[in-house]
Every structure is written in C-alpha cells, then in structure tokens.
Structure 1
C-alpha cells in the first residue's frame, strides 16, 4: 500500500473491536488526537489537546486490521475531531483498500477535509452541538456552527449515510433547542436523528462538578425531555 511509511497520524487510542460505534456493524475504532472545540461534556477530554503526540503507530493499526479481515465490517475514525488531521484522508483510503467500510465520528469543524473524505466514507456519526445562538456556549469557542452545517450539507448531498446526534447538555440546552435542531437537520434531508444523554465519565472535572450541582438542584432532568423527541 502506498503512503504507509510517510503517513502521519497522532493516534490517541485504538479499539480493535466495538459493537457500539457504528449501528449494526462490528468495527475497529481509531481515536485521533486533538480537537478545536472544548465541549464540557466531551467524554474523551484527555485527548482533545492538539499538541499532545499520539501513542499508537498507524503501522500497528494496519497490522491488526490485516489480521481482522473477514471478522470486522469496518473501521471508524473518531476523536477528538478526526478531520483535524491531514493524514485521515490517506488513512481512510488505506482502510478501504484493505476491504473495510469506513465510518467517521465528526462535529464537522473542517468542511474541506470532509469533502476530501467523501470518496471513502460509508457512514458518518455527526454531532450537531446546539442551535446557532448556543454553539459557542457548548463548544467553548466563538462561532455559530455554520461550518458544521456546511459539512453536514456536503455529506447529505453526497448520499453518505448519516446519523446526526445531539448531546443534551442541560447546562446550556433545553427542550425547545432540541426541537429546533431536529427541524433544522430534517430540513437538510437527515432521516436519522438521536439525542444523547450526558455521560460524566472522562469529562472535564470542572464540567462534571457543575453538572452534578445542576442535577442536585434541578426539578426535572433529561428523562423529562428526551422522550419528547
């Protein structure tokens, strides 16, 4: 395979078998280091720093994948934000060359990288973080999420199978926000939209404390909201 020796990927972790990262598929998951956003509820908080080096060599991942031919359906690139790294495009090509399907977990922060990945993608788990007026409050950086919607439009227009997810951060979002996001993504042509509950495992400790304080004082919680969507 061409490009293996020169491919640079900062890989924060590798899961050789997963049944929950691509609905209905048995996959390996490659976690790429770094993310431009700082979502408080991110359960991979330890790997969002963009300057931290990877701990797994891509060559080692390929060796494992070679041995899993016929046993796995595909490979999911996750993060962090996997499209932050230039090498993800070549890595996806190599995975397809091995005969695996390619999945991606992304928040859509890099629309041009999404475009380059299109020839290799079979499925995308896409995170829409918030309504435009609350994107900065969730991600911790300026912006209204327009780059994310651009990426989502690109995927839907290309006919890629997409599941859109929103994590219900009760410190920022409410029921009306979830309904607005749902209508927005449906209007773009999305047919698979799910709402996820916040998990405190692996999150920023400061966020975890704030969430626990909120939950101790709130008169209602996610269970009151999620069944409505």
Structure 2
C-alpha cells in the first residue's frame, strides 16, 4: 500500500482553522463507518471518490509548492484512519517538513495506533458518552474505542483536543456538560463544543436543533473551569 492509493474527496489549499495556531492544507479523505445524523459531509461517507476526487500526486505537488509557506497538513474526512494509505502519506508529509494533523473519531483504536508516531496534533471527535454513541452514529458498536483513544494519545505524547458536535435534538445541555466533565476527569485539557450545522446533514429529519444563547452560555460557564481552553464554536 502506498500513498498513491489514498482516496481524497477534497482539499482546502489553505486553512487557518483546521490545526490550531498553524497554517495548514487540509485533505478530506473518503470513507466513514458511521452514519451520524448531523454529518455535514455525507458525500465523504462512501469509500469511493466522487467526481471531484483529487489524486495524491496532485495533492503532493501542491504541498511541495507550499513548503516554507504552510506549517502543516491536516487529514480529515470522512474518517481518515480507515484508509491504509494514510500511513505512507503521513510519512511523506513529515519528510517534507510539515507537521501532521488528524481529525478522527477513532472508531477503531488498532487503526489509529500505528499512526501516532507520525502525528503532531489530533482533533479527536467525541460524540457522546460511550453508552450513547448509537444515538448519534447509528452504530451499535461505537464509543468505547473512541474514548480509549484519549489514553492512547496521552501515552504517545501527541498534542490533541477533544471536540463534540452539539445538535439540540440529540443532546441536552446537561448531556454536553456531562461529557465535558468526564473528559476532564480523564485528563483532557482542551475541549471544543461545535454547534451542528443544519444547512447540510445526512438526516435532515432531525431538524435544525435550535440552541438558545442561554443554553450555550450555560454550557460554557459550567465547563470553563475544567479546561485550559474551552471553545463553543458556531
């Protein structure tokens, strides 16, 4: 398996938001084992690429032209860890002098672990408490390995933040704060609560899930003392 096998569904040539405090190019990889109701990239769920697919060769040429200008490359999705070609791609971007970032829900810990030595930062999606993952992902076997990834990242010394997508129809403010408190108990120092985007969702039947300003502020006030950084992102 080589990096040439990477199935890329899209690329952001320049991003200031995908890797904290660094300028990055972001590659969106195809494929995801979950079907989260609020997924805003449903076109990335199939493993096969659509009409807009980008080859690794094209992405690699772009990255070479940005050496010295960009700090990092972020691999997002979809769920990038399910692609075996991710490892050689990480090795190549590291050899080019870039920091490596990863956005992952860590559905399978055994797929994440071989990547850890090649990663500089991870945005770990935590969907809910382990027992509530099926409500979000529609998968009966989701949750435990995602939470286990926290300890794996800590043991590997990889910088990371945990992030949770909040949709008002699926999670109450109390559920969000409970997740945050549990993360703090496990030594997580950076947590971001991302408000679900309703303009494009896999399951539009759940509606917009409106959240009041009071609900958002209550979550922010409750959780801020537990973390070095706590963001509530619209």
With the length of structure 2 as denominator, give the TM-score of the two structures. 0.87
3-state SS in 2 of match to 1:105: strand
Aligned-residue CA RMSD (Å) = 2.1
Matches of 1:219 and 1:105 in 2, distance apart? 28
Match of 1:64 among 59, 62, 65: 62
Asked if 1:105 corresponds to 2:98, the answer is no
3-state SS in 2 of match to 1:135: helix
Asked if 1:172 corresponds to 2:165, the answer is no
3-state SS in 2 of match to 1:173: coil
Contact 1:22 1:103 in 2 (8 A): yes
> Any runs of at least 4 consecutive aligned residues in structure 1 with deviations exceeding 6 A, and if so which?
218-221
Q: 2:16 corresponds to which residue?
A: 19
Distance 1:88 1:165, change over 3 A: same
Matches of 1:63 and 1:219 in 2, distance apart? 45
Matches of 2:100 and 2:217 in 1, distance apart? 36
C-alpha deviation, 1:223, in angstroms: 3.1
| Structural mapping, 1:184-199, within 5 Å | 184-199=182-197
C-alpha deviation, 1:3, in angstroms: 4.6
Match of 1:29 among 26, 29, 39: 26
> How many equivalent pairs are there?
221
Q: 2:44 corresponds to which residue?
A: 47
Matches of 1:143 and 1:226 in 2, distance apart? 28
Distance 1:211 1:221, change over 3 A: farther
Contact 1:111 1:150 in 2 (8 A): yes
Match of 1:202 among 200, 203, 216: 200
> Structure 2 stretches of 5 or more lacking a match?
224-234
Contact 1:41 1:199 in 2 (8 A): yes
Contact 2:44 2:78 in 1 (8 A): yes
Distance 1:219 1:112, change over 3 A: closer
C-alpha deviation, 1:113, in angstroms: 1.9
Matches of 1:225 and 1:139 in 2, distance apart? 26
Q: 1:226 corresponds to which residue?
A: 219
Matches of 2:195 and 2:43 in 1, distance apart? 20
3-state SS in 2 of match to 1:189: coil
Contact 1:165 1:195 in 2 (8 A): yes
